[in-house]
Structure 1
Amino acid sequence: MTDAIAGTGADQALKAKHRKMWALGDYPALVGDLIPGLGAVLVRACGVKPGERVLDIAAGTGNAAIPAAMAGADVVACDLTPELLDTGRRLAGRQGVGLTWQEADAEALPFGDGEFDTVMSCVGVMFAPHHEAAAGELVRVCRPGGTIGLLNWTPEGFVGQMFAVMRPYAPAPPPGAQPPPLWGNEEHVRTLLGDLVTDVEARRASVEVARFERPEAFRDYFKTVYGPTIAVYRNIADFPERIAELDSALVGIARQHGCGTGRSIMQWEYLLVTARRSG
């Protein structure tokens, strides 16, 4: 992102809104409850090695950053929301893992060109609103020949479909913002990275989620715990009929993806991409 765009009042207001949204609810609990091993999948795919300098962008509580540090890397975990970093710092401390936690905007990273051997993001950078800006930054801070690794929810998978269900009830996105699940579309990611990378490998896989016995339990959990869902409900708080519609829609999408009576296993699809920085 250019300094002119990054410094606009509108962009600063948008980032403040995102920062506040991710502090709602209890995202750290969601990560621990539903996707605790997902970051390690990305770390393994990136082939992180001892002594490497690694940056985890939009790291949240360190779902990928902590496993990278446990692999012996020198890790920086950055995120827009300081509350998530604080939780990650405590989690790492309990495990005796040392890494650096730094507040940062994925679209205007405070790091030098080519500073890291591996630059990665696990269901994080996909929520930066300006995709080209975020992609340019993650490539910029990776050294030539270094590894770029991305794990993002697909548009067709459960999380992507959940966002599609919530979209009509959310505030209209600002000009230039793109939907997060596009980062789970291989063609979109290849276009974003373009000739800045080589050796692109992409595959789809799924994480199993077996927490919810009923679709209503899924809905109520996300209404309480997940910041984006909480924010959407707040947007329609004065419209009971809209709340009822969204309640029903979330139950419906959960049921379509295998959440039924009794302990169900849902498959949440993601796209895993690795590449080499050109140059």
Structure 2
Amino acid sequence: MSTPLDLKALKARQQAAWASGDYAVIGTTLQLVGERLAEACDLRWDEQVLDVAAGNGNATLAAARRGCQVTSTDYVPELLKRAEERTRAERLNNVVFQAADVEALPFDDRTFDAVISTFGVMFAPDQAQSAKEMIRVCRPNGRIGLANWTPQGFIGQMFKTLGRHIPPPAGALPPSRWGDEEQLHQLFGDAAGSVNVTRQHFNFRYRSAAHFIEVFRTWYGPVHKAFASLEGDAASALEKDLTQLLNDSNVAGASSLVVPSEYLEVVIRRR
């Protein structure tokens, strides 16, 4: 008989992983995704916007730059500190930062005109509860905007590679489910008046596969933790597989590394 998945323990491990390294080193390179999502959601001046699993604040900054009143949340306070530093640097005074878990948001029903997340909520352990909470705090006819890596895209394949070397807990749902349009319809169900999906690509740009791995194993929590948990030949095997994936995905030739990674840009209109 299988043991039920301990979501609380899984969340604790995830929090530790994302708090390790410094995600902002990677996250700031993804700012374009937040800007695209803000435009796709048609964010407007003075709208109340909630950014969940905000990380270092890409979508937060994009919404604030459009005059929205933004509440920026994450369950890893260390990440929010980086986002707050960025808003201060831009002299944006329309953002409030609050440590909060997307699975139990500390806000009243129907509070926000838009609820957004870029590569964030997709990593929450309880996917159904996370979707339910985003729906709950969004006003009727409001928007839920998401950027989610697809299973078949580069980042989806990178996590699949990590999973071959460090298998996830039995019963844990892969984050890449959020990058599957059919799964999104299941997650948001009848609460979604419409679900508009656009396939986009973000290009990771580094000197080489070795440079990408060096940066990610130093700063990107999940990769940092993966290498830290492996020794000797096991770590070398992971590095070899990641190098192969990167080189196979590279569209820049031998002189550099440019790896397109597919993601879904999603705008859900709440009933």
Question: TM-score normalised by the shorter chain: which range applies?
Answer: over 0.9
Q: Equivalent residue for 1:222?
A: 216
Greater shift in the superposed pair: 14-23 or 126-135: 14-23
Partner of 1:66: 61
Give the drift of 1:67.
1.3
Instruction: Tell me whether 225-234 or 261-270 shows the greater mean CA deviation.
Output: 261-270
Map of 1:22-101 to 2, 5 A cutoff? Answer: 22-32=18-28, 34-98=29-93, 99-101=95-97
> What SS does structure 1 have at the residue aligned with 2:200?
strand
SS at match of 2:104: coil
Displacement of 1:160: 0.4
Letter in 1 for 2:248: Q
| Alpha carbons of structure 1 residues 262 and 182: separation in structure 2 relative to 1, 3 Å | same
| Offset at residue 262 of structure 1 (A) | 1.2
* TM-score normalised per structure 2: 0.93
- Offset of residue 46 of structure 1: 0.6
- Tell me how far apart the structure 2 counterparts of residues 123 and 11 of structure 1 sit (CA, whole Å): 20
What is aligned with 1:7? Answer: none
What secondary structure sits across from 2:97 in the alignment? Answer: strand
SS in 1 for 2:141: strand
Q: How does 1:92-171 map to 2 (within 5 A)?
A: 92-98=87-93, 99-171=95-167
How far did residue 174 of structure 1 move?
Answer: 5.3
Displacement of 1:65 after TM fit? Answer: 0.7
Match of 2:179 in 1: 184
What whole-Å deviation, never above 9, does each CA across 1:24-53 have from its counterpart, x for those lacking one?
A: 112101112x31221111111111101100
CA offsets 1:116-175 (integer angstroms, 9 cap, x no match): 000111000000011111111111110111111111111111100000000022253254
1:270 aligns with 2:268: no
Please state how far the C-alpha of 1:268 moved relative to its aligned partner: 1.2
Secondary structure of the corresponding residue to residue 183 of structure 2: helix
Q: What is the total number of aligned residue pairs between the two structures? A: 265
Separation in 2, partners of 1:135, 1:275: 11
Contact 1:171 1:235 in 2 (8 A): no
Superposition TM-score, scaled by structure 1 size: 0.91
> For residue 4 of structure 1, what is the aligned residue in structure 2?
none
> How far off its partner does 1:190 sit?
1.2
Q: Which residue of structure 1 aligns with residue 198 of structure 2?
A: 203
What value does the CA root-mean-square deviation take over the aligned residues?
1.5
CA contact under 8 A between 2:31 and 2:59: conserved in structure 1? no
Corresponding residue for 2:244?
252
Name the CA distance, whole Å, in 2 between partners of 1:230 and 1:67: 28
| 1:53-110 Cα deviation digits (max 9, x unpaired) | 0001100111001110110111001001000111111110010012011111111111
- Report % sequence identity: 38
On the 8 A contact 2:24/2:79 being kept in 1, the answer is yes
Contact in 2 for aligned 1:77/1:101 (Cα 8 Å): yes
| Structure 2, unaligned runs of 5 or more | 1-5
Q: Which runs of 4+ in 1 moved over 3 A?
A: 10-13
Task: Return the letter of the residue paired with 1:255.
Answer: N
CA distance in 2, matches of 1:253, 1:100: 39
Q: Give 3-state SS (helix, strand or coil) of 1:35's partner.
A: helix
* TM-fit CA distance, 1:244: 1.2
Letter in 2 for 1:244: S
Q: Secondary structure at the match of 1:61?
A: coil
Distance 2:100 2:118 in 1: 16
